[in-house]
Amino acid sequence: MNRVLNFKKRTGQLKELGELVFLEGMKDISFEIKRIYYTHSAKAGVVRGRHAHKKLEQLLICVYGVIKVMCDDSEVQEYYTLDDPAKGLYVGPGIWHTMKWLKDDSVLLVLASDYYDESDYVRDYDEFIKLAKEGYWK
């Protein structure tokens, strides 16, 4: 289901040089990346998401700040605090998810397995539960 991935990184010889993080499609993540998007300039307290996807696979990376992600598989809710740019959270199909900004101007970078397609979204929670109970994602 959801899982936290640790990316490779190179730390500068001097701390002030910072850290470089890198990941490669089909090596460090299991899907081909067809779309990249990011959400920025949101203030602490903002909640985004509130949907599930029928088929889309995504990798969520908080490249700046702190974002708490809730993942609900219709039976169990799990919470992840993304506060490290060298970690990513894999969110597969059939997971209702929300992202809550815990720090102003946190940046959420998302790598997605497919192009944008509104028909892949399930935006109604009751519909999500119905599909899950029918075994849509089994």
Catalytic machinery residues: 51
- Residue 119 zone, left/alpha/beta (φ > 0; ψ -120 to 50; rest): alpha
Among 31, 33, 49, 78, binds ligand TYD (CB under 6 A): 49
Instruction: Record the tokens describing residue 55, joined without a space.
Output: 């088929």
CA torsion sign for 66, 105, 96, 2 is negative
- Cβ neighbours, 10 Å, residue 53: 22
Q: Are 70 and 77 in contact (CB under 8 A)?
A: yes
Binding of ligand TYD by 79 (CB under 6 A): no
Q: Which is nearer to ligand TYD, 48 or 103 (CB)?
A: 48
Q: Say how far apart CA 72 and CA 27 lie, in whole Å.
A: 27
What is the contact mask toward ligand TYD in residues 86 to 125, using x (rule: CB under 6 A)? ------------------------------x---------
Binding of ligand TYD by 38 (CB under 6 A): no
- What is the number of residues in the chain? 138
Residues 16 to 35: which contact ligand TYD by CB under 6 A?
A: 35
Q: Which is nearer to ligand TYD, 71 or 134 (CB)?
A: 71
Residues that bind ligand TYD (CB under 6 A): 35, 37, 39, 48-49, 116
